[in-house]
Amino acid sequence: MTKRIFIFVALVNLLTFTNFTGQTQTLTDAIRLMQSEQFDVAKKAFKSVITKEPRNGDACFYFGQCYLYSYLVDSLSYSLSDVVDSAFYYYKKGTVSDQLNPLNYTGLGKIELLKKNPAEAKVHFNKAISLLPSKTNKNSAISNEKQALTYAKIAEAYAQVTPPDMKESFAYLQLAQNFVNIDPAIYIITGDIYLEDGDATNAILNYKKAQELAPSSPLAKIKIGNIYVRGRNLKAAIPYFEEAQQIDSNFAPVYREIGELYIKSGAYGKAKENFSKFLELSNKNIAARIKYIYALFLCKDYNNVLQQVDEVFTTDTSSVILNRLAGYSCFETGKYPEAKNFMDIFFRKIDEKRIISSDFAYYARIQGKLGSDSLAIESFNKAITKDTSNYDLLSETANLLTKQKRSTEAIILYNKKINSGKAGSLDYYYISKIYYSMFQTLSANDSYSKTDTLRKKGIDYLNKADTLCGSFLAEQAGSMQGLQMRARIKAALDPEFELGIAKPFYEKVIEKAQTDSVKYSTALVESYDYMGWYYYFTDQNYLISKMYYNRILAIDPKNAKAKNALNLPKLKELK
């Protein structure tokens, strides 16, 4: 399951539905602040509760959940390592202050699973279960509701590891379902686990049960909507998010969810409208502000991004992530020196573990625009190392290598992309162009025509260029650059005009160029020149040959090559 789906899976489920006996209004308020993603204010509220009620284990559990939740909904601003350490602290504190509360042990177990320590996780989970009523623990006063929730949280934890342990998850889920009159949070968790197992039908059934039990909560509607988003059926998802808004019009995350949906569908106006409402309901806290600015970036509203960042930085420059977004946006608006400045600050302040591939990729593009191609190539290589699945970075790097005449290295990258099955049509064109350029360099050697090995190598370059250009034209048959390149390659393979293999390709260039003779005048001159020589030397149709050279002069009256050709005896004598 994706992190976005888990945003509500991991934490909001029980927070939205469950109310424990003895829970103070202050703790309820803290939970609500967390649900609304006002994390800084929520943390202060949790600290206040724990200060007043140091033995309140539920408060410690929720506080730990708050840290994990903040990462799940805002991985831009928070790192997993940071939040795990803080969550662990409060879970541990809860096991000390409220030793009979099982929930904090489920939290500790979950953290161990996140750290890839399943044996240690099992110890904590078993401890949580040992606190529940049983034949050996008859004095336990833990309610059925909390017992079911304990098993459900363990089941949920196993479903969230990478890879998920669905066997363990369903085993604990069954134990949770053994209790009668379970609260809607259990149905939400059950739906989440079915969804993780690829069973969307049962997931929706359980979400609907949760909705029936808690009609005033928007969560189930949001989760059903997310299933449709996951299935790329955005149109079907919208009504569920809108219904969630109708249920609780002041629940900020609903507006973020639907805003993200509209971004995916390209409806940027509606996306910004919903993110603006999300920001308003979040009291414009810095975490919400960052998500709003990020949404503006995804909506390609780069100038607004820079305006918002400038407003934040006038009072608070602590957000490293905003330097990233400002750097990206400056690049997109052509402000390359400013872009580099923001990215330099970003790299200087950010924890190296939190640098992502696009950071190096944008930095490489900025360096390229500022003329530092060698440094840009180094940055692109770092970006590729960070994300080997982004094959477009290979093309960008290869383009810079080509610019630096490092053709062999560029070819390696293009071939890597082609062999992966991820190449686009332009990749074939560019690698074809490289091979043709390599032929031109080789054939310019004074020894080329006299050396068999060099000529053989040159023909090999041309044949590869021809095949690759053919692949490009198979997808973009009307491309002028492709038609011209193929014609030039064919002409180079037949330098003495013996076969005339370039003729049909130059005829296609002429056909295309005649649709806009002004735009394609250079292509016409090149093509007419070839056709003139072809009809002169191969076909020996001097009348047609002369016609083509006269066409060149009609475009370029001073063209020396055409004038010299028309002075050839066979053409000059024609009236």
In this structure, what CATH number is given to the domain that contains residue 544? 1.25.40
Is residue 541 included in any domain, yes or no? yes
16 with 95, same domain: the answer is yes
In DSSP terms, 134 is beta-bridged to 137
388 with 462, same domain: the answer is no
Average pLDDT of the chain, as a whole number = 91
Select from 355, 377, 397 the last residue of a domain. Answer: 355
Which structural domain range is residue 333 located in? 250-355
Number of domains in the chain: 5
104 with 14, same domain: the answer is yes
Is residue 562 included in any domain, yes or no? yes
Helix/strand/coil for 468: helix
540 with 392, same domain: the answer is no
338 with 373, same domain: the answer is no
Give me the percent of the chain exceeding a pLDDT of 70: 95
56 with 77, same domain: the answer is yes
pLDDT for position 1? 42
257 with 389, same domain: the answer is no
Is residue 193 included in any domain, yes or no? no
Select from 457, 476, 493 the last residue of a domain. Answer: 493
- The separation between CA 532 and the C-alpha centre of its own chain, rounded to angstroms, equals 52
pLDDT for position 181? 64
d(CA 46, CA 66): 9
Is residue 74 included in any domain, yes or no? yes
159 with 284, same domain: the answer is no
Backbone angles phi, psi at 171, to 5 degrees: -65, -45
Helix/strand/coil for 137: strand
Q: Which are the contacts of 306, defined by CB distance < 8 A and separation ≥ 6?
A: 326, 329, 330, 333
Contacts 24+ apart (CB under 8 A), 485-494: 485/429, 485/432, 485/433, 485/436, 487/527, 487/530, 488/436, 489/432, 489/436, 489/462, 489/465, 490/466, 491/530, 492/436, 492/439, 492/443, 492/462, 493/459, 493/462, 493/463, 493/466
CATH code, domain with 374: 1.25.40.10
What confidence category does residue 342 fall into, taking pLDDT thresholds of 50, 70 and 90?
very high
398 with 334, same domain: the answer is no
pLDDT for position 109? 96
Give the Å distances, CA to CA, from 254 to 10, 184, 214, 257: 16, 19, 17, 5
324 with 402, same domain: the answer is no
Q: What mean pLDDT do residues 44-70 have?
A: 92
Helix/strand/coil for 134: strand
Is residue 241 included in any domain, yes or no? no
pLDDT for position 325? 97
Select from 423, 438, 458 the last residue of a domain. Answer: 423
Helix axes 200-213, 184-196, angle to 10 degrees: 170
Is residue 188 included in any domain, yes or no? no
d(CA 381, CA 397): 8
* Model confidence pLDDT, tens digit, residues 141-186: 899 989 999 999 999 999 988 889 999 999 999 999 888 766 888 8
d(CA 534, CA 225): 66
564 with 431, same domain: the answer is no
d(CA 395, CA 424): 10
* Model confidence pLDDT, tens digit, residues 239-248: 999 999 999 8
* Model confidence pLDDT, tens digit, residues 355-397: 999 999 999 999 999 999 999 999 999 999 999 999 999 999 9
44 with 105, same domain: the answer is yes
Angle at 442 between CA 440 and CA 443, to 5 degrees: 65
d(CA 207, CA 187): 6
Query: For residues 69 and 142, which has the higher predicted lDDT (pLDDT)?
Result: 142
Q: What mean pLDDT do residues 106-128 have?
A: 95
Amino acid at 211: Q
**Cα-Cα-Cα-Cα dihedral sign, residues 373, 375, 376, 377:** positive
Is residue 200 included in any domain, yes or no? no
Is residue 312 included in any domain, yes or no? yes
CA atoms within 13 A on the CB side of 156: 29
Contact 219, 210 (CB under 8 A): yes
pTM to 2 decimal places: 0.82
d(CA 215, CA 219): 10
